[in-house]
Amino acid sequence: MARKLHFNIFRYNPQDPHSVPRTDSFDLEETESMTLFIALTRLREEKDSSLQFDFCCRAGICGACAMMINGRPGLACHTLTKDLPNEITLMPLPIFKLIGDLSVDTGTWFRAMYEKVESWVHTDKEFHSMADEERMDNALAEEIYELERCIECGCCIAACGTANMREDFVGAVAMNRLARFIMDPRDERTEKEYFEVIGTDEGIFGCMGLLGCEDVCPKHLPLQDQLGILRRKMGWSAVKELFRFGK
């Protein structure tokens, strides 16, 4: 017999002066292969058409649907209800500004992050349309792609002890992004320039090493390794700087 699922969902519409933050409950009969995408869509279409949440690709590719699922950040689209208990509590991601109910503003946060770490290839070269591309070793291309797979869902930020305490912390997503550019020979920034971006308490030295980021990353990115590598690199960079001043 199909289970009856009991949903507790955070509700608040900041645009409605009569709305107060609260939890609404809904019951729904579970169906085969049900995901939270299917469940939430049904709740909106059958029970409460004002319910706000975000889905886009519904295939685990775009990162739109991160939310707190029974207390843990995750992508709703690829969460199967059969992996959850009968009682399912859904809350919006913390840290990001609430738009309404389960929907948060990740766009503004991430744009600020791109600007902060200057998330693009820095080069003095010019593009020549008729020339062959610069060569790259395929193994290196694959390594870069590994870090490029981040979908900016915000789970690592929501799960981060430091980010929950200080607003200016860039989080694992930004460090992973910078690690991707450090690895890329097309980016001509020097170690010192990277250090200026990330060698502070807002960056690599703010991390408390709790590694909630790696635990919840839905793409299973090697965030812990990147943090370690960056710390060592930036540590060395700092020592070298000191040494230079000492002279």
Partner 1 sequence: METIFTDVLCIGAGLAGERVAIEAASAGFDSICLSIVPARRSHSSAAQGGMQAALGHCAMGEGDGPDIHFVDTVKGSDWGADQEVVRLFVDRAPEAVREMAFWGIPWNRVVPGPSTYFKGGKEYEKVEATEKEGFITARDFGGTAKWRTCYTSDGTGHTLLYTMDNKVVELGVTVHDRVEAIALIHDGETCTGAVARCLKTGKLKVYLAKATVIATGGYGRIYRETTNAVINDGGGAIIALDTEVVPLGNPEAIQFHPTGIVPTNILVTEGCRGDGGTLLDVNENRFMPEYEPEKEELASRDVVSRWMTHHIRQGLGVKSPYGDHLWLDIRHLGEHHIKTKLREVEEICNNFLGVDPITQLIPVRPAQHYTMAGVRTNKDGSVYGLKGLFSAGEAACWDMHGLNRLGGNSLAETIVAGKIVGEKIVEFLQGYEVQYNTGAIRDGVIRQQERIDDFISGKNGNENVYEIRNAMQDELMERVGIFRNGRDLQKAVDNLQEIYARAQKVGLRSNGIGVNPELTLALKIQGMVKLALCTAYGALQRTESRGCHAREDYEARNDRDWWNRTLATWKEGDDLPTLNYEPATETVELPPAERGYGVCKIISCDGEIIGEE
49 binds partner 1 (CB under 8 A): yes
x-or-dash string of contact with partner 1, 205-244, rule CB under 8 A: --------------x-------------------------
Quick one: 28 or 207, whose CB is closer to partner 1?
Answer: 28
2 binds partner 1 (CB under 8 A): no
Quick one: 140 or 238, whose CB is closer to partner 1?
Answer: 140
Supply the DSSP symbol for 199. S
- Give the burial class of 216: count Cβ atoms within 10 A of its Cβ; 0-12 exposed, 13-18 middle, 19 or more buried: buried
Supply the DSSP symbol for 45. I
The single residue among 20, 22, 124, 137 that binds partner 1, judged by CB under 8 A, is: 137
Let me know how many helices (H) and strands (E) the chain has, helices first.
9, 7
Residue with structure tokens 């959850």? 84
Q: How far is it, in rounded angstroms, from Cα 162 to Cα 140? A: 31
What SS3 state is found at 200? coil
DSSP secondary structure letters along 49-61: TT-----SSSSSS
127 binds partner 1 (CB under 8 A): yes
Q: How far is it, in rounded angstroms, from Cα 97 to Cα 104? A: 6
Determine the interface stretch with partner 1 among 21-29, 61-69, 165-173, 224-232 (rule: CB under 8 A): 61-69
245 binds partner 1 (CB under 8 A): no
Least separation in angstroms between residue 198's CB and partner 1 is: 17
Rounded CA Rg of the chain:
21
Residues 183-202 that bind partner 1 (CB under 8 A): 184, 186-187
Residue 96 CB neighbours (<10 A): 19
Total binding residues toward partner 1, as defined by CB under 8 A? 66
99 binds partner 1 (CB under 8 A): yes
Determine the interface stretch with partner 1 among 21-29, 148-156, 206-214, 232-240 (rule: CB under 8 A): 148-156
Q: How far is it, in rounded angstroms, from Cα 169 to Cα 205? A: 10
The single residue among 58, 89, 222, 235 that binds partner 1, judged by CB under 8 A, is: 58
Residue 35 contacts residue 79 (beta carbons within 8 Å): yes
Residues contributing to the site for partner 1 (CB under 8 A): 13-16, 32-33, 35, 44-45, 48-52, 54-64, 78, 99-100, 103, 105-108, 110-111, 114-115, 118-121, 125, 127, 129-138, 140-142, 144-145, 148-149, 151-152, 184, 186-187, 219
